[in-house]
Amino acid sequence: MMELPDNIKAIIINRLRGAISPEEAITLEEWQRQHAVGDEVLDHYDKIWAESSNTVNQPHFDTAKGWQRVDQRLKDIGVIETREIHTVGLRRYWGIAAAAAAAVVIMIAGYWMFFQQSEQQQITWSKVVTADATNKYLRLPDSTLVLLRKGATITYSAGFGQSDRLLTLTGDAFFDVAAHENIPFRIQTEKAVIKVLGTSFVVNSTAGADRVVVVTGKILFTDKARPENKCIVSAREQVSFTGDNFEKKNVNDSNYLAWQTGTLRFTNAPLKEVVKELSAYYGTVVNVNDTLKTGSVKVTASFREQPLNEVLEEITVITGLHFRKQQDTVIIY
Amino acid sequence: MREDGLYQQFRLGFEKFYNPLCIYANSFVKEPSVCEDIVQEVFIRIWETRKDLVQSDNLRFYLFTAVRNNCLTHLSKEQRMTVYSLSDIDLEDDDTADITPSADETLNYQALLGQGIEQLPPKCKEVFLLCRLGELSNQQAADSLGISVKTVNNQLWKALKMLRAFVKNTGMGLLFFL
């Protein structure tokens, strides 16, 4: 048989798929007439196409057994019973977020102690959840998963999930937001409003600045005081907001969840970034002496649930610097 | 509960696609148990992160693409096989190969076709399998493999042509009964 023109190939394939348009059918008939190609040729292709589906789809794998395993695994990791299990579940989210690039995971982190005073004014909020003794998981009415850092509080109204999903947060939290396209998900902090644009992020509200780390997808970050002041942050980006301006950059180490994992990891990270993470994790302000030209000092280290003192010692050993405590702050010099 | 209903749907999706996905995975990864692990992991991920996909038209596209990517990742980790990536260019120029049936077998039509599919050139086979196992549209298959729709069409056509020749040569006698 002669080599067919591309458009005829495409039409024949569309025909096999049952997706041939009336115009295409006419073109095909025309071509068949011109080249004296009988219907039996097309029939033969039909047969190969139809039979091949049965051929390749022959059952070789045990679907029932496979389902049992998946069902069990989901029960193990999905049902929120103990912290241990949660940690596993949570770690998973990050890996997946990276892979699927569209998972909805949000984390909000910061110095919870700075916001505790602002609780009283929330008269219309009806539901208040606080993580008192330990980090705490909960599920919101819209099936969004929240992990609150010890000391953090969220409040939301009784009508949450009906026409709006608005909550306020003080402290640190991680959100895995359920997808409901028509009902926006927003989080208020003291300074800002964070709107989920179908994806995932991390907010870090320290005394001086809010920091949002987006894990996957996008968020809209808006200054509460000046709503025209806003920016969109995409996956693997973070934005810092001091109340005046935004500073956007890429995310390298994923320490924003350190308060849950207990692990801080730095890979060739500038010392300035390292002290920021330490400040957020330990709730103690750690500064680098400004007169030092520390721009070139990079730290590669990882710490697991170690006291701040040990961490500082290790860092100073690595960098050849020193540290001292001055009231509530630590200065590296 | 809404969630229960969704989980039921998720289960139906699993039952529909598990076998085809495993077979698709098996065309890359030789160990059937690894294939099953990969497919199960993909479903678990969907439930964990993309429940919204369960009801979406894109589910099959997502499943087959994810399984393929995970297989390739697995292979590159194992480094036991060369991982080739499809590209439009090298798909255009392997047009010469012909597949020939092993001579003295009495086969039924499906087994014959199965043998023919096995012998298709690897890339051609991959496109064909994706379209027949996943029932993906040409556009979906093209997106999934990162090639053009035209290339998908050409590869499908090539597969059909080869299979037709294969079946004709081998199954002459057989065809009279069908």
Ordered by start, the domain boundaries in chain A are: 6-45, 126-250, 258-332
Contact: B50, A100; criterion CB under 8 Å = yes
Note which residues in 49-88 of chain B have CB less than 8 A from chain A.
49-52, 66
Q: Which of B21, B47, B160, B174 to mutate to test the interface with A (most CBs of A within 10 A)?
A: B160
What's the pTM value of the predicted model, to 2 decimals? 0.46
Contact: A61, B11; criterion CB under 8 Å = no
Residues of A in contact with B133 (CB under 8 A): 56-57
Question: Alpha helix locations (H) across chain A?
Answer: 6-16, 22-35, 39-56, 63-78, 83-100, 258-261, 271-282, 308-319
In this complex, the residue of B40, B160, B164 whose CB is nearest that of residue A70 is B40
Q: Would you say A173 and A152 are in contact if contact means Cβ atoms under 8 Å apart?
A: yes
Q: Which of B140, B157, B158, B164 to mutate to test the interface with A (most CBs of A within 10 A)?
A: B157
Taking only Cα atoms into account, the Rg of chain A, rounded to an integer number of angstroms, comes to 28
E strand or H helix that includes residue B176: none
Residue B21: the pLDDT is 94
Q: Least CA distance to A12: which residue of chain B?
A: B157
Please name every residue paired with A301 in a beta bridge, in sequence order, or none if there are none. Answer: A266
* Rounded distance between C-alpha atoms, residue B147 and residue A52, angstroms: 23
Residues of A in contact with B135 (CB under 8 A): 53
The CATH topology of domain A258-332 is Phage tail protein beta-alpha-beta fold (3.55.50)
Counting as low any pLDDT under 50, the low residues of chain A are 79-124
Q: What is the pLDDT of residues A185-207, one digit of tens each?
A: 888 877 788 887 655 555 655 55
Q: Would you say A268 and A300 are in contact if contact means Cβ atoms under 8 Å apart?
A: yes
Contact: A60, B23; criterion CB under 8 Å = yes
* Rounded distance between C-alpha atoms, residue B46 and residue B31, angstroms: 23
Is the minimum CB–CB distance between B35 and chain A shorter than 8 Å? yes
Residue A78: the pLDDT is 59
Residue A35: the pLDDT is 85
A117 to chain B, closest Cα gap in Å: 35
Q: Least CA distance to B37: which residue of chain A?
A: A66
Poorest-confidence range of B26-30, B105-109, B111-115?
B105-109
Q: Which comes out higher in pLDDT, residue B116 or A114? A: B116
All structural domains of chain B with their residue ranges: 3-77, 91-170
pLDDT category of residue B22 using cuts at 50, 70 and 90:
very high
Please name every residue paired with A264 in a beta bridge, in sequence order, or none if there are none. Answer: A303
In this complex, the residue of A19, A52, A92 whose CB is nearest that of residue B117 is A52
Region of B17 (left: φ > 0; alpha: ψ -120 to 50; beta: rest) is alpha
CATH for the stretch A126-250: 2.60.120.1440
Residue A94: the pLDDT is 34
* Rounded distance between C-alpha atoms, residue A98 and residue A94, angstroms: 6
Q: Which two tokens stand for residue B124?
A: 């051609």
B109 to chain A, closest Cα gap in Å: 8
Taking only Cα atoms into account, the Rg of chain B, rounded to an integer number of angstroms, comes to 18
A139 to chain B, closest Cα gap in Å: 13
Contact: A178, B14; criterion CB under 8 Å = no
10 Å CB burial of residue A179 (0-12, 13-18, 19+) is: buried
Contact: B153, A52; criterion CB under 8 Å = no
Residues of B in contact with A49 (CB under 8 A): 132, 160
pLDDT category of residue B45 using cuts at 50, 70 and 90:
confident
10 Å CB burial of residue A87 (0-12, 13-18, 19+) is: middle
DSSP A95: H
- Helix A6-16 crosses helix B149-175 at what angle (to 10 degrees)? 70
Q: Would you say A234 and A251 are in contact if contact means Cβ atoms under 8 Å apart?
A: no
Contact: A61, B138; criterion CB under 8 Å = no
B81 to chain A, closest Cα gap in Å: 22
B41 to chain A, closest Cα gap in Å: 8
pLDDT category of residue B2 using cuts at 50, 70 and 90:
low
Region of B52 (left: φ > 0; alpha: ψ -120 to 50; beta: rest) is alpha
A176 to chain B, closest Cα gap in Å: 8
* Rounded distance between C-alpha atoms, residue A125 and residue B60, angstroms: 42
CATH for the stretch B3-77: 1.10.1740
Q: What is the pLDDT of residues B92-107, one digit of tens each?
A: 444 444 555 544 444 5
Q: Least CA distance to B17: which residue of chain A?
A: A63
Contact: B14, A44; criterion CB under 8 Å = no
Total beta-carbon pairs less than 8 A apart between chain A and chain B: 125
Q: Least CA distance to A216: which residue of chain B?
A: B49
First to last CA, chain A: 82
Contact: B51, A44; criterion CB under 8 Å = no
Residue A125: the pLDDT is 52
* Rounded distance between C-alpha atoms, residue A270 and residue A249, angstroms: 14
Q: Would you say A19 and B139 are in contact if contact means Cβ atoms under 8 Å apart?
A: no
Determine the average pLDDT of the residues in B149-167: 89
**Mean pLDDT, chain B, whole residue set:** 78
10 Å CB burial of residue A93 (0-12, 13-18, 19+) is: buried
- The architecture of the domain spanning B91-170 is Orthogonal Bundle (1.10)
Q: Least CA distance to B112: which residue of chain A?
A: A55
Residue B37: the pLDDT is 92
Q: Which two tokens stand for residue A268?
A: 């060739």
CA proximity to A11, closest of A26, A2, B124, B162: A26
Note which residues in 111-170 of chain B have CB less than 8 A from chain A.
111, 113-114, 117, 128-129, 132-133, 135, 137-138, 150, 153-154, 156-157, 160-161, 163-164, 167
Q: Which two tokens stand for residue A81?
A: 């019973």
